[in-house]
Amino acid sequence: MAAETKPKVTCYSEGEGAFMRRSQALRGRLLHPLLVGLARLRITPNHLTLLSLLTGLAFCPVFLWGFHAAAFTLLLAHVLLDGLVGPLARHTQRASSQGSFTDTMADQVVVTFSTLTLLHAGYAAAWPGGLYVFFYCMVVIFAMVRNALAIPYSWLVRPRFFVYAWMPIEVYFWRGSLNGLLWIAALLLAWKMLTGFIQIRRKI
């Protein structure tokens, strides 16, 4: 096994970093037999990241074809696979800045394309959806820059899981409600982007 390397640059705030380490350690204990099996099959964290990315992207055409239940299943698979990446990286002692960066970018690609899919299908309006994607991307970038400058966010908002969970509600039960959630998420992310910009500008 490769020597474990603690990621130096991540997109997590101070509080999130500690929580993620505890969460991954707990998942590592609970999922130990699965992680052992994956390691024996020579499945790496990068393999899981790629599979998570592909299942997340597969949501888009499947949803647009009208197979909504199958699309939501693929999105759930994306989230579950993404949740295995960190524990497997720790188990195989492959945690690294490169892996963390790759996983974060894959997550952001799914956030962007899944939101664009909802916009295209008419389940989200252009302004809240577009601003949500823009501010989310900027906050992730600023979080990485701030961590690299040793001025991490004290806390962050990560609304993607709430948006993912709300999608079936929007489709099956409450049409038009997703826009409200996207507006709230966009406003919170805009605030974190602004504070991130100010702190980065002061530091450099």
Tens digit of each residue's pLDDT (9 = 90 or more) over 159-177:
999 999 999 999 999 999 9
Q: For residues 107 and 158, give the distance between their C-alpha atoms in angstroms, rounded to a whole number.
A: 11
Q: For residues 126 and 132, give the distance between their C-alpha atoms in angstroms, rounded to a whole number.
A: 10
Whether 76 and 56 have beta carbons less than 8 Å apart is answered as no
- pLDDT tens-place string over residues 85-109: 988 988 888 878 888 899 999 999 9
pTM here is 0.90
pLDDT mean across residues, the chain: 90
Residue 24 above 80 pLDDT?
Answer: no
Per-residue pLDDT, 94? 83
- pLDDT tens-place string over residues 139-162: 999 999 999 898 998 888 889 999
